[in-house]
Structure 1
């Protein structure tokens, strides 16, 4: 019974971005506690991060749309394991991001959607298909 109520609530999917990493977290609607998260700082991404650090000329961004997509895949699988099938994006927050970040995070939202998680609010973003 408890699992069915979890599935019908809209959990909030928020991104924390910096030039070094991207973190996606899904929070519970009433308590704001983190239900699931994935980040480019996880072990899987360490080798790529080190390679970018040692590259010349140095890149200012340590993540790109490919890494964002893989973070979205991981998040989607973790949400499915937690029994969550609906998340919501704050589209105003996403539209307020600089254009280059919006373009790079689009694959993350698409990967979550491909994992079978309904993403509400994404249809209001210009990159959504």
Structure 2
């Protein structure tokens, strides 16, 4: 059962994905300002990024499900610090992603939920293991 539009979260979780980096940001629906953000380009992930960059044969994608899970943890902790307990996602945008990205994002959503942040719309996403 979905909540009415007035009871839904006023914070939108958006993911910006490329083969080199993953960025998760939560914006306020009223003024589109960024409330919390976590990215694979942060200092914590620089060592892993350099290792994948210099690996032979070269990889097409420089982040994986393990890094996505860590980014989810960081984002959820930052959301808790500012007092946000619920976010929503654009389900159609998430379903339009290529299948290899969706598989790697399942641990991201799981880690955000594990910290205690509710994700409205995540129940409509098929878990791909």
TM (normalized to structure 2)? 0.91
Cα shift readout 1:19-47 (whole Å, capped 9, x = no counterpart): 00000000001111100000000000000
Which residue of the partner structure matches residue 95 of structure 1?
95
Structure 2 gap segments, 5+ residues each: 1-7
* Inter-partner Cα distance in structure 2 for 1:12 and 1:92: 13
Which is helix-richer, 1 or 2? 1
Structure 1 residue 128 displacement after superposition:
7.5
How many residue pairs were aligned?
122
- Secondary structure (helix, strand or coil) at the match of 1:61 reads coil
Contact 1:122 1:128 (C-alpha < 8 Å) held by counterparts: no
Contact 1:16 1:22 (C-alpha < 8 Å) held by counterparts: yes
Q: Which runs of 5+ in 1 are unaligned?
A: 1-7
Residue of structure 1 in register with 2:23 after alignment? 23
In 1: Cα distance, 2:114 partner to 2:29 partner: 23
RMSD value over aligned CA atoms?
1.4
Quote how far apart the aligned CAs of 1:10 are. 2.8
1:125 aligns with 2:125: yes
SS of corresponding position for 1:123: helix
SS at match of 2:30: coil
SS in 1 for 2:103: helix
